[in-house]
Structure 1
């Protein structure tokens, strides 16, 4: 008989997990801004890809070392518009991207369900200088670690250990949910159970395999 692993807590990423998928938001943003999508994709590979340098503008933004206004100008300089004479307006550029990221109500309901079962929940997020809807999230998460506030970013193992230490958790009893494969791989390397998020249905199914019947233990 297969023994279910012991799970005390589930840790969630924010953007792309608790919100609109990142790809969907970026597609809407580039279309609205008239940005050539391939120019943003190329930039991401350079600034956050597996072989990127440690001090790229995006890394510095995520760790709180680069103000979002300055990042917006660096980003706008590298993006290409559909019109040769056109330029990408830097003022509020990332903020306009965030406007296309909306809460994923199904995943938020899943977090609430986990809390009702008695599982501990936490948030571990790489911030792009964005604000978080804390009035909505505070009741769902026991603790939150945001990269820009602690000077660390995923997939650096130190940021995972920081959250685990603050909550008194051990990796083997913790599940990490993220939509970025590199972040999931890093968590797994520490011994955490992991779920690569695609949508709420897939994630709930994966969590049920790890923690058992969520409905059975729902303490409403």
Structure 2
């Protein structure tokens, strides 16, 4: 071992961290459905920005208080299309996330960390529980999904619940997310936190905390 390991667990967000960027899926949906981008940006800001009032439709979706169908109807009513057609609410979130795919490099990183004795876990704000559950349940423990526990990032209780399930002190846990407010929530509890932009950057940052982790993926062994 080349140095002292500084974490005992890594907690990953799902959308935009263990998957490709969510913005790519959103951009494809906006184009396919003919959504006026300004109406989407305006609604997202009103419902999810740092100064949004508590209890917006997104907050209630994330904590499971709103069903996906109820949210889809509220969301569609706020959106406009470039040609003036009404937005079809049926399956709206499904279309928005249709292009989101698991990132093989990040799942491989999770497996490497686990093989090194580092615990890997999931902490995700749910927008409809569109998760590959068999895959993540086999790899990540605990799996904390906002809609299942009635709590949401970046509020403290969901981080406290995750730490309780890990049974580890906050300073021995690092949280990886692609949204700065969620990192601030983790740091407020004493957790370490890393902003995810891509798999290579996150791997390199984690290699500083887990010295046995190679900062770059090992080359695949050719099959003969």
SS of the residue corresponding to residue 139 of structure 2 reads coil
- The answer to whether the 8 A contact 1:95-1:130 is kept is no
Aligned to 2:219: none
- The answer to whether the 8 A contact 2:116-2:212 is kept is no
Aligned to 1:189: 188
Aligned to 1:104: 103
Shifted more, 111-120 versus 205-214: the winner is 205-214
By how many angstroms is 1:42 displaced?
A: 1.1
SS of the residue corresponding to residue 10 of structure 1 reads strand
By how many angstroms is 1:131 displaced?
A: 2.5
Aligned to 1:171: 170
SS of the residue corresponding to residue 86 of structure 2 reads coil
Q: How does 1:1-220 map to 2 (within 5 A)?
A: 6-84=6-84, 86-215=85-214
Q: Distance in 2 between matches of 1:187 and 1:82?
A: 39
Q: Distance in 1 between matches of 2:192 and 2:210?
A: 11
By how many angstroms is 1:25 displaced?
A: 1.1
List structure 1 runs of 4+ shifted beyond 3 angstroms. none
SS of the residue corresponding to residue 164 of structure 1 reads helix
SS of the residue corresponding to residue 7 of structure 1 reads coil
Q: Deviations over 1:106-135 (max 9, x none)?
A: 111111111111100100000011321012
Q: Distance in 1 between matches of 2:211 and 2:146?
A: 31
By how many angstroms is 1:5 displaced?
A: 5.9
Given the superposition, is the C-alpha separation of residues 186 and 4 from structure 1 closer, same or farther in structure 2, using an over 3 Å criterion? farther
Q: Which runs of 5+ in 1 are unaligned?
A: none
The normalised TM-score by structure 2 is 0.92
Q: Which runs of 5+ in 2 are unaligned?
A: 216-224
Q: Distance in 1 between matches of 2:142 and 2:105?
A: 21
The normalised TM-score by structure 1 is 0.93
